[in-house]
Structures are given as C-alpha cells and as structure tokens.
C-alpha cells in the first residue's frame, strides 16, 4: 500500500474546491475529488488528471447519509486510509436582501443541511479512518460572514450555517486533542467564483491557499483555529 497521503475534497468540480484539489495534488497528495453532479465531477477530475496530477473521483451528495457512507466505503476499500478531509461543499440560499424578520425558516433548514449537517456526517464517517493511522487534517471552509465578532445583517441563513460550522470545528478539535487529527476553519475571502461573483477581489488560487496549507500542517500545527491568509482571525 502506498505511503502517499489521501485527501477527500467535497464540492470540488469547480471554484475553490477544484483549486484546492489542484494545490493538494501538486504537493504529492492523492486526491479524491467529489461532487454532487457526477458528469461535472468527472470532467473536473479529467482536467486535473491531464495535468498529470493524481486525482480520483467519487460522487457525493453531502445531504445524503447513504452517499456519505458510500464515499467512506470507497475510500476504505481503495486506499485503506484517509488523511485529509476538506469540507468545501456549501450553498448560499438566502434571497437577495434577505433579513431575519422576513426570512423563510425552510431556507435555514436547507442551508444547514449542506453547510453544517454535511460536514458533520462526513467527519462521523471518515474520522475513524484517520484514527486507524493516528493522523488527520480536517479543514472546514467557513466565512467571515459567520464570525460572531463581526456579525451583521443580511444573508442570515448562510451566516447561521457558517457560525454552526465553526462550532463544529471547535468542539471536534477538542474531542480529538492529542490524537494528531487537526481540525480548523478558514475563510477564503471574497473570491471570483460562481458564488462570489465577477466583482470579487480575490483569485481562486489565493482563496484556496490557506485550505491547502491547513490540510498539510505539520504535527505541531494549530488545531481548533479560524484562519484567513494563513493567519488566525477572531471567531
């Protein structure tokens, strides 16, 4: 069995997730690129494979417990290990101009299903593979919109989901303390993607850099932190 690290990246057929796959594979990591849309995911994996990067593909719907279990079984069967999990898949479903008092409860439920419960399902399914080897790196793609220290109005469902994801980061990091499984959140900033839009100020390469860094931390690296541009930021 190869000693190469194995990573799974969710929501990776485009944007920041796709670039995280590229950067990790460029560092010698074998990457399992996942996406909800199989056709788009396979095209994305093929593009990276054409760059002579080690990329595998598996379909994943983070809102489905069955789909998450299938990914875990695939990774275990194919590699017998998982070293890195990047929870990148996310949605922003708030209508333009959304405010708390006029928001639809169902928007919160749907947003949390992907942005919080998805990562929760994945860590529950995949941390056992990390524990087998006493090594793991978990990176949760959060947002400055989830920072309590700078919380403001607008996109309330998205903000709630990212704040919840940060709580997951902190509690899981505490539970795994001393096991060499490091868990961190990061904010990519306002990135030129389908979600960020064309007016965004940052490239996908810059947006993905901190995630790739956290995914390959040394054993004495930080855990339970929130980062942007490789620097800690307030919760």
* Contact of 115 with 90, CB cutoff 8 Å: yes
Q: Which residues are catalytic?
A: 158
Distances (CA, A) of 64 to 105, 110, 119, 184, 192: 21, 13, 11, 24, 28
Question: Could you give the CA distance from residue 53 to residue 147 in angstroms, rounded to a whole number?
Answer: 35
Distances (CA, A) of 113 to 48, 91, 161, 164, 235: 29, 10, 9, 11, 22
Note the helical H segments in the chain: 15-26, 38-49, 65-79, 105-112, 118-133, 156-175, 204-215
């Amino acid at each position: 069995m190869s000693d190469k690290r194995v990573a799974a990246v969710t929501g990776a057929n485009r944007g920041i997730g796709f670039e995280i796959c590229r950067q990790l594979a460029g560092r010698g990591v074998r990457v399992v690129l996942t996406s909800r849309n199989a056709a788009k995911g396979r095209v994305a994996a093929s593009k990276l494979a054409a760059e002579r990067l080690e990329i595998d593909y598996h379909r994943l719907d983070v809102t489905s417990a069955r789909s998450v279990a299938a990914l875990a079984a695939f990774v275990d069967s194919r590699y017998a290990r998982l070293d890195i999990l990047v929870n990148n898949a996310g949605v922003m479903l708030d209508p333009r101009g959304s405010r708390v008092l006029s928001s639809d409860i169902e928007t919160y439920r749907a947003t949390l299903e992907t942005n919080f419960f998805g990562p929760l399902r994945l860590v529950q399914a995949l941390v056992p593979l990390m524990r087998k080897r006493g090594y793991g790196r978990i990176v949760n793609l959060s947002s400055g919109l989830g920072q309590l220290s700078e919380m403001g109005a607008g996109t309330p469902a998205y903000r709630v989901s990212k704040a919840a994801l940060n709580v997951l980061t902190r509690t899981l990091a505490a539970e795994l303390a001393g096991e060499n499984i490091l868990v961190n959140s990061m904010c990519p900033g306002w990135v030129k993607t389908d979600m960020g839009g064309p007016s965004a100020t940052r490239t996908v390469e810059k947006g993905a850099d901190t995630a790739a860094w956290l995914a390959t931390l040394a054993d004495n690296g930080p855990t339970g932190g929130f980062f942007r541009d490789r620097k800690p930021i307030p919760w």
